[in-house]
Amino acid sequence: MKVITCFSYKGGAGRTTAAGNIATALASTSLNGNQPPRNVALMDLDVFSAGVHRVFEISNKEIRDHYPCVEDYLRDQMAPRKYVEQGGLTLKDKLLDRFYKEKGVKESCNPTFTLFPSKADPTTKFVVQKQHENILLELLLELESPRYNFDYVVLDGESGTRSMADIALRLADVILIFFRLTWQHIDGSVNTAREWEKSITKPFHLVPTCVPLVGKGGNVYLEDAPGFDRLRDLTELIPEISELNSFTRDHPNGAGLFWQDGAGANRICVHESLLLKGEERVIVFDPEMRKDFAVKDFYAIASKLDGKYGPTAEKNQ
């Protein structure tokens, strides 16, 4: 089992939306061809600003009425198996049923996909404590056990360097750093990556989000526009003096970055979605949205992750 932590230096990077879509793409029946679909769990560790449930169009009230959430598991020190059985939401649960039926995806996602939400209640104070890391580790071991046999657990961590963000990073096998193409996002994310290179031995990947759709001649891309064949390199969208380009020059072989196949191909990123239009929700579930660039990006990232770190990759090592 691999633990994938989604991290962002600043809020507003689209990290939670990406976490939800990448997790469901990993669980898609169409990701691995003839191979069995992966067993995937998605856990919201942003305990102070819970939001993963909103990506699945679950209201704050519905989550407040749900017990147990992640905070309940940590606070009450529940037995891991009891928490998995009572707190995990599968596609058959009423809170996720709309994705399983209404969106026509009954056969497109592994029904074992499980969401572990955090409590969406700002009036409830939660204090992160040292023992919470070990309690979460016990939960991950339970999810990896033969009883559940999850292939992936995707953690949506906090932004920045708060306590739960640090715990999510330490629990990770692989880290995805999401950032927007703004000075603060780029500089903060790349500086964080440089520091991690000195102290963290686990692999991490930089994933730009909300990347503009650009056609030939710099025209804004319109859906089904004739003659559109590829996106402009990200380096053309970012000033040469930016930290991202410096980091790229220091890593000519793509270390720390996702790369598409083929020489000179664009870096994998998450492009602006013509269908999301600012909304935070899962779109890889909906068959009608499969042509959207952001959907393709989420699937591309999931495919890269599975090929590099998945069960098949482990067997070939």
* pLDDT, tens digit (0-9, with 9 covering 90-100), for 253-281: 554 555 444 433 346 778 788 777 777 88
204 pairs with which residues across the strands? Answer: 175
Model pLDDT, residue 280:
83
Model pLDDT, residue 98:
75
Is residue 26 predicted with pLDDT exceeding 80? yes
Higher pLDDT, 162 or 303: 303
Q: Give tens-digit pLDDT for 77-117.
A: 899 999 999 999 998 898 888 777 766 665 678 889 999 99
**What are the distances in angstroms from CA 84 to CA 45, 73, 96, 138, 241?**
15, 9, 16, 11, 48
Q: Give tens-digit pLDDT for 166-213.
A: 999 999 999 999 998 888 888 888 888 888 877 777 888 888 888 776
pTM of the model: 0.87
Chain mean pLDDT for the chain: 80
Total structural domains within the chain: 1
Higher pLDDT, 121 or 170: 170
Model pLDDT, residue 229:
41
Is residue 154 predicted with pLDDT exceeding 80? yes
> Quick check: 38 and 306 in contact, CB under 8 A?
yes
Mean pLDDT over 8-14 rounds to 89
In our burial notation (b when 16+ CB lie closer than 10 A, e otherwise), range 36-66 reads ebbbbbbbbbbbeebbbbbbbbbeeeebeeb
Model pLDDT, residue 107:
63
Q: Give tens-digit pLDDT for 132-153.
A: 999 999 999 999 999 999 999 9
Give backbone dihedrals phi and psi of 164, rounded to 5 degrees, phi first.
Answer: -70, -30
Model pLDDT, residue 19:
97
Model pLDDT, residue 133:
93
Higher pLDDT, 143 or 126: 143
Is residue 232 predicted with pLDDT exceeding 80? no
Is residue 20 predicted with pLDDT exceeding 70? yes
**Domain span at residue 100?**
2-316
Is residue 303 predicted with pLDDT exceeding 80? yes
Residue 147 belongs to domain with CATH number: 3.40.50.300
Q: Give tens-digit pLDDT for 65-83.
A: 888 999 999 988 899 999 9
The neighbour count for residue 190, using CB atoms within 10 Å, is 23
